[in-house]
């Protein structure tokens, strides 16, 4: 195992959050739902004041963690069907964050969200997972990136 691969996996996980945010922001701009992914995740810190900057920080940390976990899971599960496995890890991370969010913040600090918000966020998780699988396939499996010049 190369020592720089978990770092690259974390970076790919962090970068994978951006297409999901773009997609959810588009849906919010069309009036579907209230919060984009970054806005929703910022509520873990601010409780009732959604802000994109704090959401970026929270989501990049979480995405990096998911990318690292995904990297180590792939060592056990194999590197085939990366897009499907990325989609699965994206949906699992959505379930965990939704459970955490609804049990701690929703209904206590902000009003209960409409169902369209849940659909927006699950679609953002799908975009995150597919992007994660594609990036892993390109940069860690097919054409591995090295951080050192050996």
Asked if residue 116 belongs to a domain, the reply is yes
Asked if residue 148 belongs to a domain, the reply is no
Instruction: Give the rounded percent of residues in the chain with a pLDDT score beyond 70.
Output: 95
Asked if residue 149 belongs to a domain, the reply is no
Mean pLDDT of 11-28: 97
Closest CA to 25 of 37, 13, 42: 37
Considering the entire predicted model, what is its pTM? 0.92
Structure tokens at 108: 């206590």
121 vs 2, more confident: 121
Q: How confident is the model at residue 1 (pLDDT cuts 50, 70, 90)?
A: very low
**How far is residue 121's CA from residue 9's CA, in Å, rounded to a whole number?**
23
Q: How many domains does the chain have?
A: 1
User: What residues contact residue 95 under an 8 Å CB cut-off, 6+ apart?
Assistant: none
Asked if residue 150 belongs to a domain, the reply is no
Where in the sequence is the domain holding 43, given as residue range(s)? 5-142
- Residues 67-119 have pLDDT tens digits of 999 999 999 999 999 999 999 999 999 999 999 999 999 989 999 999 999 99
The number of CA neighbours under 13 Å toward the Cβ of 34 is: 12
**How far is residue 44's CA from residue 77's CA, in Å, rounded to a whole number?**
32
User: What residues contact residue 13 under an 8 Å CB cut-off, 6+ apart?
Assistant: 63, 64, 65, 66, 67, 68, 70, 132
pLDDT score of 4 more than 80: yes
Strand segments, DSSP code E, in 3-54 are none
Asked if residue 147 belongs to a domain, the reply is no
């Amino acid at each position: 195992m190369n020592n720089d691969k978990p770092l690259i996996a974390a970076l790919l996980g962090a970068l994978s959050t951006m297409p999901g945010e773009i997609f959810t922001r588009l849906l919010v701009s069309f009036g579907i739902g209230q919060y984009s992914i970054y806005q929703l995740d910022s509520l873990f810190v601010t409780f009732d004041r959604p802000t994109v900057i704090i959401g970026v920080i929270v989501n990049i940390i979480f995405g990096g963690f998911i990318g690292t976990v995904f990297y180590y899971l792939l060592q056990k599960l194999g590197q085939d069907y990366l897009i499907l496995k990325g989609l699965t890890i994206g949906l699992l991370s959505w379930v965990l964050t939704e459970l955490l969010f609804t049990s701690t913040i929703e209904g206590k600090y902000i009003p209960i969200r409409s169902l369209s918000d849940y659909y927006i966020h699950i679609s953002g998780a799908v975009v995150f997972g597919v992007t994660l699988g594609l990036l892993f396939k390109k940069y860690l499996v097919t054409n591995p990136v090295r951080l050192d010049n050996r």
